[in-house]
């Protein structure tokens, strides 16, 4: 077993013809878990979501035998990710939960090699928030990170050693609807992210922090920063100006019809739509993810109406911090890139970065060039920290 850190790799490849599956395979390449050749082989053998699950379970078992905990954990997480909520294994247990615990055991072995990494469970409401943290005495500052929709911390935990090596104290936490909080406490996601973020800042006595929200975390972090000014720098990684609106926009001309239907839940067309959603594995999986993550969401209409809440249209004017807005040119959320920048009318400063295909970073969350993405964030934090210090005369 090696204790070497993940080495990010640049490049975005066609490992599989399905756009969504190919994106996930590229994530595994970007984080250096698999080689290009391994993923070309795996991708060529996957022709369904069921095949995805079986191949990654088999590959994970082989990696576990070969004493490769990160690869094995990534495989079991990959299988768990696309498993339908409610599916049972041969023993009648939730397969999604079984695979989650299996990948977590291996992630803990791998990240347990980092002697500076600690895990603290912070009390919040009637459960606990796991916080993975590494402190530097007299370091450059403090960075707090969280994920977004259907994420677990370990999907992104390689960010922590990167910033720690740059001289920062780093705290990566999971909130309601994410990872351990969802899988072990069944605590569902809420748009009011300032409460769980505040609990983490309170517990560790943190102030003057940079908050990085990943994926849907681009909305969640913005919400937290709007109401908690201990956050002095905000990174939307990436922007989520309007979750619902971005999905509508991808529907093209049908988007207007669909928007009408979501506002009329008793319309008879929903019977036909519900059946269509249930016929395809991807849409069935997508909706079941939402039913598991959000409270009191049990139908497609309820799902799409619920995600309307995840937008920064009104709270953007409450942002007074230095703000970094990130986006990939090929991402569906980028349609609102300029809207988000323009909405930050009271921010101390606004910096935007639109990543391109030529940089291998135009996809969601810059899968394809994580090294460039992290360098961009780190350089911006250092620049804004220096600027703040000069203004305060320190």
Q: What are the pLDDT digits (tens) for 106-115?
A: 999 999 999 9
Confidence of residue 91 (pLDDT cuts 50, 70, 90): confident
Question: Which of 63, 100, 60, 59 is CA-nearest to residue 81?
Answer: 100
Confidence of residue 391 (pLDDT cuts 50, 70, 90): low
Answer whether CATH 3.40.50.720 is correct for domain 116-242+311-392: no
pLDDT for res 92 = 82
Under 8 Å between Cβ of 231 and 202: no
Digit-coded pLDDT (tens) for 208-228: 999 999 999 999 999 999 999
Residue 162: φ, ψ to 5° = -60, -50
Residue 367 has pLDDT above 90, yes or no: yes
pLDDT for res 354 = 98
pLDDT higher for 288 or 393? 288
Residue 393 has pLDDT above 70, yes or no: no
Residue 2 has pLDDT above 50, yes or no: no
pLDDT for res 390 = 56
Tokens 């990160």 sit at which residue? 70
Domain range annotation of the chain? 19-110, 116-242+311-392, 244-308
Q: Classify the C-alpha dihedral 202-206-207-208 as positive or negative.
A: negative
Can you tell me the distance from the alpha carbon of 10 to that of 104, in angstroms, rounded to the nearest whole number?
Answer: 27
Residue 210 CA neighbour count, 13 Å, CB half? 26
pTM: 0.95
Taking residues 42-57, report their average pLDDT: 97
Answer whether CATH 3.40.50 is correct for domain 19-110: no
Residue 3 has pLDDT above 80, yes or no: no
pLDDT for res 5 = 53
pLDDT for res 1 = 37
The residues, any chain, with a CB within 8 Å of residue 209's CB and separated by 6 or more, are 141, 142, 143, 144, 201, 230, 231, 232, 233
Can you tell me the distance from the alpha carbon of 32 to that of 9, in angstroms, rounded to the nearest whole number?
Answer: 6
pLDDT for res 389 = 53
């Amino acid at each position: 077993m090696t204790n070497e850190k993940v080495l990010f790799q640049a490049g975005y490849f066609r490992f599989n013809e399905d756009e969504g599956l190919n994106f996930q395979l590229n994530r595994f390449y970007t984080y250096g878990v698999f080689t290009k050749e391994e993923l070309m082989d795996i991708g060529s053998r996957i022709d369904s979501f069921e095949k995805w699950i079986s191949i990654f379970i088999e590959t994970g078992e082989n990696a576990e035998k070969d004493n490769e905990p990160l690869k094995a954990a990534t495989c079991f997480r990959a299988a768990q990710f696309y498993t339908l909520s409610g599916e049972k294994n041969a023993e009648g247990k939730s397969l999604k939960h079984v695979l989650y615990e299996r990948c977590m055991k291996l992630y803990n072995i791998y990240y347990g090699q980092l002697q500076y990494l600690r895990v603290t469970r912070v009390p919040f409401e009637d459960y606990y928030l796991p916080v993975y943290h590494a402190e530097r005495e007299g370091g450059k500052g403090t960075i707090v990170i969280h994920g977004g929709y259907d994420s677990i911390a370990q999907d992104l935990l390689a960010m922590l050693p990167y910033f720690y090596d740059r001289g920062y104290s780093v705290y990566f936490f999971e909130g309601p609807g994410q990872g351990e909080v969802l899988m072990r406490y069944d605590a569902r996601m809420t748009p009011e992210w300032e409460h769980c973020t505040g609990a983490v800042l309170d517990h560790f006595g943190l102030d003057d922090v940079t908050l990085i929200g990943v994926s849907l975390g681009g909305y969640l972090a913005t919400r937290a920063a709007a109401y908690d000014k201990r956050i002095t720098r905000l990174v939307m990684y990436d922007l989520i100006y309007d979750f619902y609106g971005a999905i509508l926009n991808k529907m093209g001309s049908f988007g207007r019809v669909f928007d009408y239907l979501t506002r009329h839940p008793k319309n008879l067309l929903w019977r036909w739509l519900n059946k269509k959603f249930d016929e395809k594995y991807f849409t069935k999986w997508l909706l079941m993810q939402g039913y598991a993550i959000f409270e009191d969401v049990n139908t497609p209409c309820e799902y799409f109406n619920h995600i309307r809440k995840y937008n920064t249209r009104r709270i953007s004017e409450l942002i007074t911090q230095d703000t970094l807005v990130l986006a990939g040119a090929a991402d569906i959320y980028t349609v609102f890139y300029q809207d988000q920048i323009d909405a930050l009318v009271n921010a101390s400063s606004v910096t935007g970065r639109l990543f391109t295909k030529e940089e291998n970073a135009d996809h969601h969350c810059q899968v394809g060039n994580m090294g460039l993405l992290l360098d961009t964030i780190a350089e911006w934090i250092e620049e804004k920290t220096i600027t703040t210090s000069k203004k305060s005369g320190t």
